[in-house]
Amino acid sequence: MTAPLPIDDHTQLFVLTGAGISAESGIATFRDAGGLWENHKVEEVASPGGFAANPELVWRFYAARRKAALAVIPNAAHRALAQLGSRLGDRLFLATQNVDPLHQKAAEEAQTGGQLRSASTSIICAMHGELFKTRCSREACTEEPFYDERCDFEDLPRCPCGSLQRPHIVWFGEIPFEMHTIKRRVQACSLFVTIGSSGAVYPAAGLVREIRYRQSQGESVRSVYVGLERPENADSFDELHLGRATEIVPALLGV
């Protein structure tokens, strides 16, 4: 039985989630997929070079992922985080590497769920972008990214400026969004939790090292990992809780 973490009125909680938290909702992790899609390397469909070479293939890949994501619902781990977020408000900062909408859906459920309604909501930072957002591929364009559920395209989608639109996703070789805010929140947290991330994708995998550094400076801060197996950065964590996210996360968060 997992003992709940000590979360009180002073806790500043930073949570980093990866593909493992959505696995039990039916979204394949990077490893499950074997790094391939329809025999194309994931790099071909998820990199700026891949988009330049074959935007049609890239859009087919993301359209298929959008369709799959429309059919899934949040699981007990997403819901536990959302419920805790209703209680902690902006003292919970949730950075997700996932591009699926399951944290956002769980937060909406918690907000409309009655008793758990709260004036402030936790912060969800989609550091690798969002599957249901699109933006212009021309960097200098001033059009904003927008919510987009389109899954079928007769022609490649174009921005009003004439350039091709692209998925609002951080691809291989691109820098995650809001890294400045993320680093600031890691430096200010009192509890750092990672859920379902293999610890192989940087810079997300390196965030826990900041906790080690702060501990070396005498600060009181704790780091915890939850996932099926030891992540590659396991040595940087104070505690590992190995198992399924839906079983461990609700118990650990005490919700």
Using CB under 6 A as the criterion, which residues of the chain lie in contact with ligand NAD when the complex forms? 18-20, 22-24, 27, 29-31, 97-100, 128, 196-198, 200-201, 227-229, 231, 244-245
Q: How far is the CB of 199 from ligand NAD (least distance, A)?
A: 7
CB of 164 within 8 A of CB of 156?
yes
**Candidates 78, 128, 168, 241; catalytic one:** 128
52 is in the binding site of which of Zn ion, ligand NAD, none (Cβ under 5 to 8 A by kind)?
none
Nearest in space to 82 (alpha carbons), one of 72, 73, 92: 92
Q: Which residue, 95 or 136, has its beta carbon nearer to Zn ion?
A: 136
Q: How far is the CB of 219 from ligand NAD (least distance, A)?
A: 26
Nearest in space to 177 (alpha carbons), one of 132, 139, 143, 128: 128
Interface pattern 111-140 for Zn ion (x via CB under 5 A): -------------------------x-x--
Q: Please name the residue ranges forming H helices in 2-146.
A: 20-23, 42-45, 48-53, 55-70, 76-88, 102-112
Q: Which residue, 188 or 242, has its beta carbon nearer to ligand NAD?
A: 242
CB of 123 within 8 A of CB of 189?
no
What type of residue is 79? R
180 is catalytic: no
Q: Which residue, 165 or 198, has its beta carbon nearer to ligand NAD?
A: 198
Q: Which residue, 222 or 244, has its beta carbon nearer to ligand NAD?
A: 244
Q: How far is the CB of 179 from Zn ion (least distance, A)?
A: 24
Q: How far is the CB of 138 from Zn ion (least distance, A)?
A: 5
d(Cα 93, Cα 71) in Å, to the nearest integer? 27
Residue with tokens 């461990």: 248
User: Which of these ranges, 10-18, 56-64, 154-162, 166-174, lies near Zn ion under the rule CB under 5 A?
Assistant: 154-162
Q: How far is the CB of 222 from ligand NAD (least distance, A)?
A: 20
User: The sheet that has 92-96: what strands, in order across it?
Assistant: 123-126, 92-96, 13-17, 191-195, 222-227, 239-242
CA 8 to chain centre: 24
Q: Which residue, 87 or 138, has its beta carbon nearer to Zn ion?
A: 138
Hey, what long-range contacts does 208-211 have (CB within 8 A, 24 or more apart)? 208/233, 208/236, 208/237, 209/233, 209/236, 210/183, 210/186, 211/186, 211/236
143 is in the binding site of which of Zn ion, ligand NAD, none (Cβ under 5 to 8 A by kind)?
Zn ion
CB of 236 within 8 A of CB of 208?
yes
Please list the active-site residues: 128
Residues in contact with Zn ion by CB under 5 A are 136, 138, 141, 143, 159, 161, 163
